[in-house]
Amino acid sequence: MNPIPSGPRGMYFEEFVPGQKVITAGRTITETDIVTFAGLSGDYNQIHVDAEYSTKSPAGQRVAHGLLILSIASGLAVQTGVMEGTIVYFREVNEWKFVKPVFIGDTIHVELEVKETKEMRRIGVGSVLIELVVKNQHDETVNKGMWSTLIALRPG
């Protein structure tokens, strides 16, 4: 029997290179996602939860919360395993834009690209700036922005 490897499966700071890209799996947005997020956040805005009201809105239907899509994008990014066990801190969300609405039944994925790296040896981490582009099933950008993360340096 082979032992299960212990330790992080994510990449250490030294493995991140500007221009490097990762594409996540897809995830379909459901009515349950929207209702659950409304309950969790307390945001029961009619554009999100009232089907009849939403038919008269500019979107013509219910729209997923922008922060729900940001949260799901975060989960999809984490599921790639790239930062699993090596991310020290999620530092900031920069320049986030909600470009297009996301509707019930839309399937989104995230395209990540390393934009900049900076070693911070004094505090034992490296800063990695990652651009995220969230796209729907039609390859349209629905959200985009940058994340600043602190990633562990390779031990030793």
Looking at residue 114, its pLDDT comes to 98
State both tokens at 75: 């989960």
100 close to 106: Cβ distance less than 8 angstroms: no
Looking at residue 4, its pLDDT comes to 55
Going by their DSSP bridges, the two strands 141-152 and 87-98 should be labelled as: antiparallel
122 or 107, greater pLDDT: 107
Helix, strand, coil percentages, rounded to 5, for the chain = 25, 35, 40
Residue closest to 103 by CA, chosen among 48, 139, 64, 60: 64
In CATH, the architecture of 13-152 is: Roll (3.10)
Which residues on neighbouring strands pair with residue 114, listed in sequence order? 130
Mean pLDDT of 8-24: 94
pLDDT interval class at 156 (50, 70, 90) = confident
Note the pTM of the prediction, 2 decimals: 0.91
pLDDT tens by residue, 28-87: 999 999 999 999 999 999 999 999 999 999 999 999 999 999 999 999 999 999 999 999
Calculate the average pLDDT of the chain.
Answer: 94
Torsion of CA 142, 65, 67, 112, to 10 degrees: -20
Question: Domain coordinates of the chain in residue numbers?
Answer: 13-152
Mean pLDDT of 93-114: 97
